[in-house]
Amino acid sequence: MIERHAAHRGAAVTYAGGPAFGDHLVQHLRLPRHKVISVPNGYDPADVADLRTAHVHPHRNGQPLKLVMNGYWYGRNGPGILIDALQRVGPAVAELTVIGGVSGPIASSLRHATGRPVVHQDTASRRELYERLQAADAAMVTVDQASAVESRIPAKVYDYLAAGVPVIAICPRGAALLQIPGAERFHHIHPLDVDQLVRLLGRASLDRATLRTGTVGAGPSREQGVDTLHRLLRALIAPSRAQRWAAAAGSSG
């Protein structure tokens, strides 16, 4: 009730995520559609200025795949079937590095599956992160079936798109992250289909050309979010603010 009251008193409610989340806010908070505004997340174009083109590494064919995950795994937000796949293929086929961190229980599960401790790395800047992603064979994003997949878009996905690195997306088919411009090149794996993931890892370790790269600087940028907020704020300080914003949002399409 408090949340709904605050939302109704506000001039607008903003969110980052897929369209389904906006629908949920409209229904749950009983708000008019024009008050619920999507402000997209994205990368900073300055971070990819002069960044080299991402490419696969055919000279590594026959060697273990270098997989990387940027972010944190904890609680239910974990690697899911990736643990089983790594155990089945073994370190001769795929190795995982985490740029960020994992909880103790997940680290133990990964250690049991791979026979070695989780490799952690840190980066000092977003640009360094992108260069580290490009040095890997593929970046991982994992979203299970109970994590509001129809609306949640992990921020790491924007970094993967910006870097142009091959992406293995373990998520349900209806996940919002698969709807981002540029995500059509992702290697999509259903979160219950460990056999499919094992096959992909095996093929890619023998032939890196199996993996799909993208264009550096692809996907939504933060400039889009800034532009959305700019137009929203201008509309809110003007007369007939709701109507003006609705017209502005409609014209941006």
CA-based nearest residue to 153, from 225, 86, 105, 102: 225
User: Residue 250: which pLDDT band, with cuts at 50, 70 and 90?
Assistant: low
Residue 218 lies in a domain: no
Phi then psi for 212, rounded to 5 degrees?
-105, 120
Whether the predicted pLDDT of 253 surpasses 60: no
- Domain containing 114 — which CATH number? 3.40.50.2000
Specify the pLDDT at position 243: 60
Specify the pLDDT at position 239: 59
Q: At what angle do helices 194-206 and 81-89 cross, to 10 degrees?
A: 50
If you average pLDDT over residues 16-21, what whole number do you get?
79
pLDDT, tens digit, 9 for 90 and up, residues 60-89: 999 999 999 999 998 888 999 999 999 999
Residue showing tokens 């024009």: 34
Residue 27 lies in a domain: yes
Sign of the C-alpha dihedral, residues 232, 237, 239, 240? positive
Task: State which residues form the domain around 103.
Answer: 46-210
Specify the pLDDT at position 244: 60
pLDDT, tens digit, 9 for 90 and up, residues 91-138: 999 999 999 999 999 999 999 999 999 998 888 899 999 999 999 999
Residue 244 lies in a domain: no
What CA–CA distance (Å, rounded) separates 211 from 139? Answer: 11
Task: Say how many domains are in the chain.
Answer: 2
Are residue 178 and residue 59 in the same domain, yes or no? yes
Q: Which residue has the higher pLDDT, 41 or 205?
A: 205
Which of 33-47, 114-128, 162-176, 237-251 has the largest mean confidence?
Answer: 162-176
Computed over every residue of the chain, the mean pLDDT equals 90
Provide the token pair at 130.
Answer: 């992108």
Count of CB atoms within 10 A of residue 61's CB?
14
Provide the token pair at 91.
Answer: 């370190």
What CA–CA distance (Å, rounded) separates 154 from 151? Answer: 10
Specify the pLDDT at position 205: 98
Contact criterion met (CB below 8 Å) for 101 and 78: no
Specify the pLDDT at position 28: 84
Are residue 95 and residue 33 in the same domain, yes or no? no
Q: Of the ranges 4-18, 33-47, 187-201, 237-251, which one carries the lowest mean pLDDT score?
A: 237-251
Task: Return all residues near 20 (Cβ < 8 A) that are at least 6 apart.
Answer: 150, 151, 176
Residues found in the chain: 253
- H/E segment holding residue 188: strand 187-189
Specify the pLDDT at position 114: 94
Share of the chain above pLDDT 90, in %: 62
Are residue 204 and residue 103 in the same domain, yes or no? yes
Are residue 17 and residue 55 in the same domain, yes or no? no
Are residue 29 and residue 72 in the same domain, yes or no? no
Give the distance, in angstroms, between the CA of residue 219 and the centroid of all CA atoms in the same chain: 11
Whether the predicted pLDDT of 90 surpasses 80: yes
Does residue 226 sit in helix, strand or coil? helix
Are residue 24 and residue 8 in the same domain, yes or no? yes
- H/E segment holding residue 15: strand 13-15
Whether the predicted pLDDT of 242 surpasses 60: no
User: Residue 170: which pLDDT band, with cuts at 50, 70 and 90?
Assistant: very high
- DSSP H stretches of helix in the chain: 2-9, 19-29, 81-89, 104-114, 126-135, 156-163, 194-206, 222-236, 241-252
